[in-house]
Amino acid sequence: MSGVRLRGLRIDGPDGAIVRGLDLDVAPGECVAIVGESGAGKSLSGRALLGLVPDGLLWSADDLEIDGVAAQSLTGPQWRALRGRRIALVSQDALVSLDPLRRVGAEVAEPVRIHEPGVCGDALAGRVRSSLERVSMPNPDERARQYPHELSGGLRQRALIASALSANPAVVVADEPTTALDATVQARVLDLLRRIADDGVAVVFISHDLGAVARVADRVVVMHEGRVVETGVTAEVLASPRDPVTRELVAAVSHEPLGRAPRTDAPLFAARGVTKRFGDRVAVNDVSFEVRRGRTLAVVGESGSGKTTLARLVVGVAAADAGTLSFDGHSWTPDVARGADRRRVQLVQQNPWGALDPRWSVGRTLLEAVAAGGVARPGRRRAVAALLDEVGLSPAFVRRRPAQLSGGQRQRVAIARALAVSPDLLVLDEPVSALDASVRARILERLLTLQRERDLAMIFVTHDLDVVAGIADDVIVMKDGRVVDSGAVSCVFAAPGHPFTRELLAAAGLGVPEA
């Protein structure tokens, strides 16, 4: 068979084996998913298929065939000849993967220029247009002239997939390609990957999102600590998992609404008719809501709906152009937020890589945070160890820097830092989008425990509606800066009042009744 044939993949690092004897077969026209917790070895295994194992790691395979080519002993130049032409990579972050100084058309054309130098001029422009049309890029000629920053997240991901497909590879490795996308855009990208497989390409889909895996994959391979613990037809494995690891992963994506009794005390935070403009664009338009102690408000919507701008207003790093914000009964403005109340409202950002100082160790970052929270010097190291334990990291992490952490580990450090000052209101902007299902479930459970212990109020910005069901009491749905639906999570999910809410729920596979 062509496609992928892998036998006995082993990857070793300084501390021992990372991947232990992986076997994998992916036929043309088939999509096979590799799933598992952070650190299971799934992304390293995918990169081994492209000869891209990081420096410092050693890898070997008893047999590796890519589109009929024996690849286990290829040299660097031979791998470069193979990559792009026979096997291509679609990575997680399109904004990082695409060159910000090159137009989209040049990115899509690059694999053709490298592997088919005879294609040039009008023929090359036609290949670029064909690749963009293949991924259903709207206005392909216009998009080809634009830079990555001019595209939305979903369009950037399509451009990255178009670049991967432009030289017509037989195999595509998609490594977490929908992690940062909202539900409706994610659904469109997953449908695109499924269509690519149906066109005869062998697709290796690496993901921690079992909902996405169920939608796109024919078979699934479950990894744990570098080993395969279960494999089979996707529907069968997810419906009747045999291994305890698989059962834990499946259980972690099933959330029942909290159903907590409403609070009748005064709101801790309230917004009344809040509006925020950027030039002629209205990012937040006449938004009102309340959050009480011990309760969580979820803010959901597509990219560009105003969710993150609203979070910045709540944290106090941006000022509203109209309307009022109040915290604990007092007016809330950026001037107030720079005062004594600054520590009482804390933000956990979506991108922990940008939020953590790359020069500082985890220990130094958290020591600074607990010092700001008023912990006396003798107790600071114990407080740091307790924070790491709260977010599921061992004390050994104090010596690591952000570059030595996975995306999920960096996010947990960011959450620990926010909790260090014992805030009254925690604003979380996509805090678990980079986490695999079981780690995400543990973080959500820990947040709920902290909420009960501290009577903590939370505003939870997310595109993952399944997470909303497990963490939030109330929800507001935003579209184009406005709130189009709001209420208790159980009510909004059971009887969405706006067509856009129904579209979001349908894209997330949450069984919305017919309108």
189-227 pLDDT, tens digit per residue, is 889 899 999 999 999 999 888 888 998 999 999 999 999
Report the pLDDT value the prediction gives residue 514, as an integer from 0 to 100.
Answer: 43
pLDDT 10s per residue in the chain (515 long)?
A: 589 999 999 999 887 899 999 999 999 999 999 998 877 889 899 999 999 988 889 999 999 999 999 998 899 999 999 999 999 999 877 777 889 999 999 999 999 999 999 999 999 999 999 999 988 888 899 999 999 888 877 788 889 999 999 999 999 999 988 876 777 778 888 898 999 999 999 999 998 888 889 989 999 999 999 999 999 999 999 999 999 999 888 887 766 677 788 888 999 999 999 999 998 889 999 999 999 999 999 999 887 788 889 999 999 999 999 999 999 999 999 988 876 678 889 988 766 667 788 899 999 999 999 998 889 999 999 999 999 988 878 899 999 998 888 767 888 898 889 888 888 999 998 887 767 777 777 778 878 888 888 899 999 998 777 788 889 999 999 998 999 999 999 889 888 989 988 888 887 766 544 43
Report the pLDDT value the prediction gives residue 439, as an integer from 0 to 100.
Answer: 72
Helices 407-419 and 362-372 pack at an angle, to 10 degrees, of: 20
Domains detected in the chain: 1-86+171-254 (3.40.50.300), 94-168 (no CATH), 269-355+425-507 (3.40.50.300)
CA of residue 169 relative to chain centroid, distance: 26
Report the pLDDT value the prediction gives residue 475, as an integer from 0 to 100.
Answer: 95
| Residues contacting residue 328 through CB under 8 Å, at least 6 positions apart | 268, 269, 341, 344, 424
The structure tokens 């036998």 sit at 7
The structure tokens 């695109």 sit at 192
Q: Where are the alpha helices (DSSP H) in 148-231?
A: 153-165, 183-198, 210-216
Of residues 199, 191, 198, the one with CA closest to residue 136:
191
State which H helix or E strand residue 278 sits in.
Answer: strand 269-278
Report the pLDDT value the prediction gives residue 231, as an integer from 0 to 100.
Answer: 96
Beta strand 63-66 with 269-278: parallel, antiparallel or unpaired? Answer: unpaired
The 3-state secondary structure of 477-488, one letter per residue: EEECCEEEEEEE
Of residues 309, 270, 286, the one with CA closest to residue 482:
286
The 3-state DSSP composition of the chain as helix, strand, coil percent (nearest 5) reads 40, 25, 35
CA distance 155 to 137: 7
pTM over 0.85: no
CA distance 368 to 108: 45
